[in-house]
Structure formats: C-alpha cells, structure tokens
A and B are shown apart, each in its own frame.
Chain A
Amino acid sequence: MTSEETADRIERRREGLSHWKWLTGVWLILTAIIEPVIYFLIWPHLPPGNMTSSARGAQFDMMVLTMIAAPVMVAVLAYFAYALIVFRHPKGRPLVDGPPLRGNLRVQTAWITITSAIVMGAFVFGTYELIVPAGAGGAEGPSPIWTPASHTELPVQVIGQQWIWTYRYPTFGGFETTQLMLPNNTEIAFHVTSLDVIHSFWAYQLGVKADANPGVDDVAFTQTNQLGRITVRCSELCGIWHGAMYGYGEVVSPSAFETWAKAMERRLAPATRLLPPFAWTYTPSANGAGGGYYPQTDPYYDKTLYDQGRSGPEGNLPALRVEKSQRVG
C-alpha cells in the first residue's frame, strides 16, 4: 500500500467519523424531543382510550411500542435527510465512482445486536401484556387461564346472530335485551357466543374483543372505570348485513345499573319466560327453529281471515274489503 493510499484512507475515515458524530447528534436531539412528546402529549389520546382496565392496558402497550419505534423511525428519517443534503453530488464536479464497500464487523455486529434486541424486546413485552393482565380484554375460550383476582365479576352474556347483538344478564333472572348496559368500577366477565355463524364481539372503548362461535362460551374480562358510551361492532365478516351489525351501549353508575337491571328484569319477565333457560351456549336447532306446525289452539285465530277464502282456489269471498288502490295483481 502506498503512503498516498494510506493517507487517503485515513482522510476518508476521519470524514466518516464526523458524519457519524453529526448523525448521532441530530438523532439524539430529535429523539430527546419526540419521546417526551409521545409520553406526555400523545399517550392520553392513543386508542382505545382508558374506559376499562383492558382499554387502559392496550393504550399503555401502544405508548411503549410507539416509544420503542419512534427512535428507529427518527434514525431512518434523519439519515435519509442527511444523505440527501450532505452526500449530494456537487454540480460541475466530474462523476466518479465512490470508494468500494467492504465488510465492517463492528457495524454489522452492532446492527444485528441492536435490531434483534428491539424486536425480541417488543415480542416479549407484547406477549406478556397479551396474556398476564387478566387476558388483556381478549377472549380466552371457555375455561380462561388468566382470571381477575376479585372473583366477583358481573357475568354478561353476549349473543351474536345474523345480524344483531343481544345481551343476557344471568344474575338478573336471565333477561335478554339489545341494550348493553354496564356498571362502572366493576369487573365484567363477557361470555360471548353465537346462534349461527362466527361473529366477533368488538366493544371498542372497552378494549374487549372476543370471537362469537356457535356452541362455544368465549370468556373475556375487563374492569370498567369510566362512565360513557360504548360502540359495539361485529368484526368477523358474517354476511350481507355484517356492516350493519353494530350497536351502542353505556357504562353507568353502579346504582343506575342496578335500577335499570331490576326494572328490565321485571318488565321483560313475560318475554324471559319464553326464552330457553339460561345456559352458556345454545343449540339453536334444538328448539326447532326453522319452522314447524303446532296444532294447538291459535290465540290469534280469526275466522274471517283464515277460513273464508277456502271456498275456491282464487277465493270468491275476499276476507277483507279490497280497496281499489290495494287491488292485487
């Protein structure tokens, strides 16, 4: 190697080092700005809010993962901008090939180590958060492994059917309604099931999402800690009206909930008597759904409507007066 070549290498190395210093400086400053912004300003606004323990947990996880991802993104964008500005080919200077790239063990080792640490860290953190805090609002199947410590949950059964959600409250006589009402500051155990195809119960503000499978009691826990409105959507494509399969609910004070539930229990008692006894799953075909003839007395029997038309195939005795505007055919 000639002394000229050695001097050139040293010169390039010095130049490279100063690029590193600049880039690291820019990156450190930007990171020092963006991390507190995420922590203090963005965290409280991250979805899905903090209406429940599981929503708050999801929000915390989003914050942590955003704070891990932000410095990486800042580094990429800072390098991109730096390269565009500093490594620009000067006008008028002849175009020459750059120095050949050779392996650099230190850079490669650092690269693999740091990226692996970030990805593995996010993986371990995410997995822990998904499972350990009482299932994190996700469904845990019929025999949940992670349950809340209190064991005084309010069970709420969520029934999906094409294309509407209904809710049964087993501790209030098992009444069923299309309204989802929950008491505040209460541990809730959602028992999600379906009467037909697979649906998915997604109560956005609660941070709860659980598949609704026919014949399966899918359990998800959460603890309410804020009053407010809930949006429920089906998040499993389930047919033509899947997009219309949404509804609203509310988290109310425990006393308001108690009043509502007791009133509903009383008001819906006649309807509740017609429901199958409360169970964690239902077999729809067992109740003969799909039609059948019941030869018992018909409480709505009306002789004029049912019988008069029998006198001929077209019926020469119309049971009702057919007004001109209503004439058929």
Chain B
Amino acid sequence: MPKAARLALALGIFVVAVALAVIGAMAYLRSNPPNVDYAAGHQSGQPVHLTIQTVGQIGFGAHPSWVSYLALAPDGRWVHSTLWQLPAHTLVDVTVYEYDTGGPLRNQVFGSVSGVIGDDYVLNGKPVRLLDSNSGNGVAHTFSVPALGINVPLWGVPSSAKNICAHAPCSFSSVHNVITFSFRTPGPGQYHWQCLIPCGAGFLDGNGGPMQSIGYMGGFLKVVDA
C-alpha cells in the first residue's frame, strides 16, 4: 500500500474512532434521566394525566439524601426523571403527592398559585390560591414553569409526623399532601421547569445539588406535536 493511502486510512480510522467516542459519550450523558413519554399514543382531545411525587430524600442512586421529583410513567412505574414529554395544545391534569416537610419561602411571592386553569388548585380537597408559608407546615417545593407563568407551591407535611417517607418512591402509608391542578400545553418546544424554593440543603444559598441537577428539582416539559 502506498504511503499516502496508508496515511489516509490511519486518519480515517482515527476520525471514526473519535466520532464514535463522542457519540457514545453524548448518548451516555443523554440517557439519564430518561424521557418519560406521555405523548406517545395520546388520543387528541383527551387530557393527559401527569402524576408526580416530591420526596424529602430519594433514598437511592448517586445522591440518596437529595430531595427529588419522580413521575409515574404511563406503564405504572415510578421513574426518577424530570424530563416529561407531553403532547402540544393538550389539557394536562396533574396530581402531585407531596411527601416532604416544608418551611417559609425565601420569596413569599411564590406562595401564590398562578398559570393553572381556574386560578386555583386543590390541596387535600380544598381550593387554594395562596399559601402562607410562614404558618403551619410551610411550603416544601414549587412546581414552576416560568415561560408558561405556572407556579404551584406544594404544601409541606408536618415534620413531627412519625411516618415521613425516607425512600422513594413513597407509598400512601407515608404522610403526604395531595395537590391537583390543570394546565394547557402550548405549541411544541422545550419548557424549563424548576422548584423555586432553595431546597438543596447543605449547598450555597440552598441552590446547589438537587436544585442544579436535572432529574431532581428541575427539568423540561418536552412539548411535542402529537
């Protein structure tokens, strides 16, 4: 084989190897957290049921002590992910099982419910528009989608309770609150959502750790054409 051909072959192999390594690394990085797909097989005109839970500590994985969200996948499994794929222009009925203790908000403005259909949400059967986090159990987390104007504060459970969930997914035998609300998805796009409570205990301003990690206290609503 002539020298030039050998060189070209070596270069070609090198380029392919680098490309494979990059694709492999990207695929690995993108594989977790997984996408929870509520859009596949969705019948247009029908609402999507999004059931999620918030837990005081996830209890497994790389950061067992971190607070987290989990989502109930359409196949009935609780999935540790904050990437939720939803059909566009569709009513989403959300049920949140909130298992974490709360406290006063850093910014009380996020005790107000906004961006949901009807301006109220339902907390343990009672309609709520505004939570006073300085009294009672306080607020544990919020479900907030700034681009859609959605802010839903999640009332905390009493920290004196003896049955606080310590390992996700939490079951109904642990103390919890039930929050329901609805919103309508906009057109296709990726809409960032996050918790607006600095709940990353032990991190600077409470905003590190789970607050800065997709899969825990923030993620994306991946709105797609159904």
Please report the C-alpha to C-alpha distance between residue A22 and residue B159 in the assembled complex, in whole angstroms: 86
The answer to whether B161 touches A306, judged by C-beta atoms less than 8 angstroms apart, is yes
Please report the C-alpha to C-alpha distance between residue A188 and residue B8 in the assembled complex, in whole angstroms: 65
B83 CB–A CB distance under 8 Å: no
* Minimal beta-carbon separation of B74 from chain A (angstroms): 9
B207 CB–A CB distance under 8 Å: yes
The answer to whether B169 touches A328, judged by C-beta atoms less than 8 angstroms apart, is yes
The answer to whether B107 touches A161, judged by C-beta atoms less than 8 angstroms apart, is yes
The answer to whether B178 touches A320, judged by C-beta atoms less than 8 angstroms apart, is yes
Please report the C-alpha to C-alpha distance between residue A284 and residue B108 in the assembled complex, in whole angstroms: 11
- Residues in A neighbouring B192, C-beta threshold 8 A: 241, 244
A159 CB–B CB distance under 8 Å: yes
* Minimal beta-carbon separation of A158 from chain B (angstroms): 13
- Residues in A neighbouring B174, C-beta threshold 8 A: 309, 315
- Residues in A neighbouring B132, C-beta threshold 8 A: 274
Please report the C-alpha to C-alpha distance between residue A289 and residue B109 in the assembled complex, in whole angstroms: 13
Nearest B residue to A304, CB-CB = B124
Looking at chain A, what size class is its interface with the partner chain? 35 or more
Nearest A residue to B114, CB-CB = A178
A195 CB–B CB distance under 8 Å: yes
Which residues between 145 and 175 of chain B lie within 8 Å of chain A, taking CB atoms?
A: 146-147, 149, 155, 157-163, 169-175
Which residues between 266 and 295 of chain A lie within 8 Å of chain B, taking CB atoms?
A: 268, 270-271, 274-276, 284, 287-295
The answer to whether B107 touches A315, judged by C-beta atoms less than 8 angstroms apart, is no
A162 CB–B CB distance under 8 Å: yes
The answer to whether B158 touches A318, judged by C-beta atoms less than 8 angstroms apart, is no
Nearest A residue to B140, CB-CB = A291
The answer to whether A305 touches B72, judged by C-beta atoms less than 8 angstroms apart, is no
A97 CB–B CB distance under 8 Å: no
Contact status of A302 and B130, CB under 8 A, knowing A271-B111, A271-B112? no
A325 CB–B CB distance under 8 Å: yes
Please report the C-alpha to C-alpha distance between residue A305 and residue B164 in the assembled complex, in whole angstroms: 12
Contact status of A315 and B106, CB under 8 A, knowing A164-B144, A294-B135, A310-B163? no
- Residues in B neighbouring A195, C-beta threshold 8 A: 106-107
- Residues in A neighbouring B146, C-beta threshold 8 A: 163-164, 178, 244, 247
Nearest B residue to A274, CB-CB = B108
Interface residues as binary, B85-109 with A (CB distance below 8 Å gives 1, 0 otherwise): 0000000000000000111111111
The answer to whether A162 touches B198, judged by C-beta atoms less than 8 angstroms apart, is yes
Contact status of A322 and B136, CB under 8 A, knowing A166-B107, A293-B158, A300-B123? no
Please report the C-alpha to C-alpha distance between residue A47 and residue B177 in the assembled complex, in whole angstroms: 50
B224 CB–A CB distance under 8 Å: no
The answer to whether B112 touches A163, judged by C-beta atoms less than 8 angstroms apart, is no
Please report the C-alpha to C-alpha distance between residue A302 and residue B161 in the assembled complex, in whole angstroms: 13
Please report the C-alpha to C-alpha distance between residue A287 and residue B207 in the assembled complex, in whole angstroms: 17
B187 CB–A CB distance under 8 Å: no
- Residues in B neighbouring A327, C-beta threshold 8 A: 76
* Minimal beta-carbon separation of A151 from chain B (angstroms): 29
Contact status of A309 and B175, CB under 8 A, knowing A289-B206, A299-B136, A300-B124? yes
B45 CB–A CB distance under 8 Å: no
One of B10-18, B19-27, B211-219 at the interface: B211-219
B65 CB–A CB distance under 8 Å: no
Q: Number of contacts between A and B (CB, 8 Å)?
A: 175
Please report the C-alpha to C-alpha distance between residue A276 and residue B105 in the assembled complex, in whole angstroms: 11
Q: Which of A287, A297, A305 contacts B177 (CB 8 A)?
A: A305
B201 CB–A CB distance under 8 Å: yes
* Minimal beta-carbon separation of B128 from chain A (angstroms): 8
- Residues in A neighbouring B158, C-beta threshold 8 A: 293, 298, 306
Nearest B residue to A328, CB-CB = B171
- Residues in A neighbouring B107, C-beta threshold 8 A: 159, 161, 166, 176, 195, 284
The answer to whether B194 touches A196, judged by C-beta atoms less than 8 angstroms apart, is no
The answer to whether A318 touches B173, judged by C-beta atoms less than 8 angstroms apart, is yes
The answer to whether A197 touches B205, judged by C-beta atoms less than 8 angstroms apart, is yes
A317 CB–B CB distance under 8 Å: yes
A113 CB–B CB distance under 8 Å: no
Nearest B residue to A214, CB-CB = B205
Q: Which of A178, A274, A322 contacts B134 (CB 8 A)?
A: A274
Please report the C-alpha to C-alpha distance between residue A313 and residue B173 in the assembled complex, in whole angstroms: 8
* Minimal beta-carbon separation of B75 from chain A (angstroms): 8
B126 CB–A CB distance under 8 Å: yes
Please report the C-alpha to C-alpha distance between residue A288 and residue B102 in the assembled complex, in whole angstroms: 11
B196 CB–A CB distance under 8 Å: yes
B137 CB–A CB distance under 8 Å: yes
Query: What are 24 A-B interface contacts by the 8 Å CB criterion?
Result: A178-B146, A247-B146, A271-B108, A287-B106, A288-B104, A290-B198, A291-B102, A291-B103, A292-B138, A293-B137, A294-B136, A296-B135, A300-B177, A302-B124, A302-B125, A312-B173, A314-B173, A315-B174, A318-B172, A318-B173, A319-B172, A325-B76, A328-B170, A328-B171
In the A-B complex, the 5 residue pairs with the closest CB atoms: A315-B173, A291-B103, A289-B106, A196-B205, A309-B173
